[in-house]
Amino acid sequence: MVVLVVLGLMIWFTTMRSLPVVQATGASFVTSSDWLPSAGDLGTLSFVYGTLVTAAVAMLLAVPVAIGVALFLSEIAPKRLRTPLAYLIDLLAAVPSVVYGLWGVLVLVPFLGNHVWGPVSDHAGGFPLFEGPATGRSYATAGIVLAIMALPIITAITREVIATVPSAHREAALALGATRWEVIRLAVLPYAKSGITGAVMLGLGRAMGETIAVALVIGGSSTISASLFHPGYTMASVIANEFPEATGDHINALIGIGVLLFVLTLIINVGARLLVWRTARKLR
Task: Tell which residue, 43, 89, 29, has the closest CA to residue 65.
Answer: 89
Return the range that interacts with another protein (CB under 8 A); candidates 27-35, 71-79, 128-136, 163-171.
Answer: 71-79
CB of 100 to another protein, least distance (A): 7
Q: Which of 184, 196, 218, 228 binds another protein (CB under 8 A)?
A: 184
Region from 132-140, 163-171, 224-232, 259-267 binding another protein, contact rule CB under 8 A? 259-267
207-246 residues in contact with another protein (CB under 8 A) are 208-212, 216, 236, 239-240, 243-244
Per CB under 8 A, does 39 bind another protein?
A: no
The DSSP-derived string for 37-97 is: GGGTEE--HHHHHHHHHHHHHHHHHHHHHHHHHHHIIIIIS-HHHHHHHHHHHHHHHHS-H
- Which phi and psi angles does 166 have, rounded to 5°? -60, 135
CB of 280 to another protein, least distance (A): 11
| Binding residue (CB under 8 A) for another protein from 82, 169, 250, 273 | 273
CB atoms near residue 276 (< 10 Å): 23
Among 78, 126, 177, 248, binds another protein (CB under 8 A): 177
Burial class (CB in 10 A: 0-12, 13-18, 19+), 214: buried
188 touches another protein by CB under 8 A: no
Q: Does 163 bind another protein (CB under 8 A)?
A: no
Answer for the pair 241, 215: CB distance below 8 angstroms, yes or no: yes
The binder of another protein chosen from 106, 124, 163, 226 (CB under 8 A):
106
Backbone angles phi, psi at 230, to 5 degrees: -100, 155
- The CA-CA-CA angle for residues 115, 119, 125, to 5°, reads 145
Q: Which residue, 14 or 28, is less far from another protein as judged by CB? A: 14
Q: Does residue 3 interact with another protein by CB under 8 A?
A: yes
